[in-house]
Amino acid sequence: MILPVILSGGSGSRLWPVSREHYPKQFLNLHKDDCSLLQEAAQRLENVENTGAPIVVCNEEHRFLVAEQMHQIGFENAQIILEPCGRNTAPALALAALSACSASAEAELLVMPADHVIKDEVAFAEAVAKGSELTRCGKLVTFGITPNTANTGYGYIKRGEPQGAGYNVDAFVEKPDQARAESYLASGDYLWNSGIFLFKASAYLEALRQYAPDILEVCERAYAKRSEDLYFLRVDQVTFAECRTESIDYAVMEHTKEAAVVPMAPGWSDIGAWDALHELKASDDEENGNAIHGDVMLHNTRNSLIHSESRLVAAVGVNNLVIVETDDALLVADRHQAQDIKLIVNALKAAGRKESQSHQRVYRPWGNYHTMVLTDSFQVKEIVVKPGAKLSLQMHHHRAEHWVVVQGTARVTQGEGHGDLSKLRSFLLSEDESTYIPLGTVHRLENPGVIPLHLIEVQTGSYLGEDDIVRYNDEYGRE
């Protein structure tokens, strides 16, 4: 059986300002309007024969986003493995392989990054079938993309002698300069390194034991101390932090004699930056070569990507630009320098600015909230609570809150004194009704209805940070 492993640990900083640290590109509808890149990766499995429930490896911060998006498309039985900290692909896949081997040592792992686009899913499934023939012979298979341009943004794989339905790997090559990329394309012996793999879980663990035993040893100890809660498998945080950071390419694939590559041309893109998304979506305006999203009006504009999230964006007389608008940031960049957007993100982080991490709308396991107004002494939020969901029973030391229901029904639980848990009362609020939560009062918000609950929250106080919260009880296991 093939067990898909979806790696969902990236931050997508080159797609800022739409992709943020707390809500990166794999959770965004960048390719299709009705599903995220993560959901596309999961749905791609429908064309692959003999697959089991997917394993998703993600970091702690994104666990509820992963669970919610997988549930939305019917993958309630997906196993979600949480990395306590990012250690690159080799340790992440070690955890997935250990989990798979606990069920079957013969399981094959189909490793897919969560943020790639594959247009021809039938061609992808055919390539996986060819790769499976090689994995049954003990090969560690990678999938190489047949190049159609001399692209300097990808690593390359040089294919060697034919091996079954693929080739032995002769060499892995780092991202080349333009002249070398052109020579690779002309030779016909080089493929783009897709970062997609297929191998038996036991074969990968054995390769780690041979070429990176320190990584395997730490992961085995962390996995042995695992625990489960809700939909999540947690490994031991302290132990896993001892692991060095390493990719599967450096840890295993560049050393093993069992590496094989299967060429494929399924309309693949890793959407590494805005220029890659432009190439993918320029058919939106074929005559002028523009890729557009949202409320956009153009005149005499060519070869550009214009992405609007919250308002009208108009472009006149421009060429080869990336223009991306969100409700708190605007990016204007030369399309050919899109890779350098990461430098802006690094500068934002260094300055301690929240625009590198979060959007104005922040997602939580119970729903989301959108910051509408923020000053030193008050804040106004729109809060949306999913049907049947509830926030934690909590208290704030530095702020009071006033809630006004604008749609749906709210059940409010509220105490009487500062931090007093002995006299909690519950009551319902309907549309246009409100309540006041004094500073220090224990409270909880819940949606008992069947439609989303929308309310406006006005916070007042000397400190309005999200870390001013004491949780007494939480449905989602948060501290």
String of DSSP letters for 9-27 = ----GGGTTTSBTTB-GGG
Which segments of the chain belong to CATH 3.90.550.10?
2-269
Q: What is the mean pLDDT of residues 271-299?
A: 87
CA dist., res. 132 & res. 130, Å (int) = 5
Residues 6+ apart with CB under 8 A from 206: none
Residues of the chain by 3-state class (helix, strand, coil), percent to 5: 25, 35, 35
Q: What is residue 475's predicted lDDT score, i.e. its pLDDT?
A: 87
Strand partners, 6: 56, 112
CATH class, 2-269 region: alpha beta
DSSP assignment of 47-62 equals GSSSB---EEEEEGGG
Confidence of residue 190 (pLDDT cuts 50, 70, 90): very high
Using CA atoms, how far apart are residues 417 and 414, in angstroms rounded to an integer? 9
Sheet of 410-418: strand order equals 425-429, 410-418, 441-446, 393-395, 470-473
Phi, psi values for residue 460, rounded to 5°: -135, 145
Rounded distance between C-alpha atoms, residue 144 and residue 164, angstroms: 15
Residue 348 pLDDT exceeds 80 = yes
Per-residue pLDDT band for 284 (boundaries 50, 70, 90) equals low
CATH superfamily entry for domain 361-473: Jelly Rolls (2.60.120.10)
Token pair recorded at residue 274: 């805005």
Residue 105 confidence (pLDDT): 76
Question: Mean pLDDT over residues 19-40, rounded?
Answer: 93
Amino acid identity of 30? Answer: L
Cα–Cα distance measured from residue 288 to residue 419, given in angstroms and rounded to the nearest whole number: 62
Is the pLDDT at 418 greater than 80? The verdict is no
Q: Judge if pTM exceeds 0.85.
A: yes
**How high does pLDDT run on average in the chain?**
93
Range with the poorest average pLDDT among 10-14, 70-74, 141-145, 432-436: 10-14
Q: Average pLDDT in the 349-365 region? A: 92
| 334 has a pLDDT exceeding 80 | yes
Residues of the chain with CATH 2.60.120.10: 361-473
As a dihedral over the C-alpha atoms of residue 401, residue 395, residue 386, residue 432, rounded to 10 degrees, the angle is -30
Say yes or no to pLDDT of 25 above 70: yes
pLDDT bracket for residue 9 (50, 70, 90): confident
| Phi/psi at 466 (5° precision) | -70, -15
